Amino acid sequence: MEFIETIKVNDKYFSQYIGKYELNHILENLSSQINNKYKDVVDNDHPLIIIGILNGAFMFLSDLVKMLDIQCEIHFIKVSSYIGTDSSGKVTDIIGLNTDISNKNVLIVEDIVDTGLTMLNIIKKFKSLNPKQIEICTLLHKTEKTVNPLELHYVGKEIKDKFVVGYGLDYNGQGRNINCIYSIL
């Protein structure tokens, strides 16, 4: 009989869904794709602009950029669309973009793409700033929940419609510090 680790976050129970080894494999795969794409495109004068979406992407982005061997700048923005375990479908203002992205290669790094509404709002805002190109890298993608067509360039893992915590993902502000990803029971 297999032992499945269970944890409690706030008032809900979760079981391990993606462990450390699988996360590391995902990171190696994504970083290899990004390195290959940008190795002849970016340099000291034209670094890749990487924009992490706070708060959830901080652990993923941190581990991902450690595996990149290309020139890059790292920035963060903050948006929110979750209330409890459900996406509200409403995006608050984008806060924190304090660099010029015009005529630059931009890579947005997200922890999870659910409905896609948050990302569509970010893309719309960023396109108005005239970047050379925008690509999206997400750790997780809930394909069956995505309601609008959205091109994701780098996807770590497609998952079912499960609520997940850990590795930056939270439930009502808690669970981000867990080093694996857990799904709700």
Q: Which residues are catalytic?
A: 114
Collapsing DSSP to helix, strand or coil, 6 comes out as strand
Give the bridge partners for 107, in sequence order: 50, 135
Contacts 24+ apart (CB under 8 A), 33-38: 33/154, 34/64, 34/68, 34/70, 34/107, 34/137, 34/154, 35/67, 35/68, 35/69, 35/70, 37/135, 38/70, 38/105
In this structure, what token pair is assigned to residue 151? 């091109």
In this structure, what token pair is assigned to residue 108? 């947005």
Separation between Cα atoms, residue 176 and residue 168, nearest integer Å: 4
Closest CA to 57 of 45, 48, 67, 65: 65
Residue with tokens 């924009």: 51
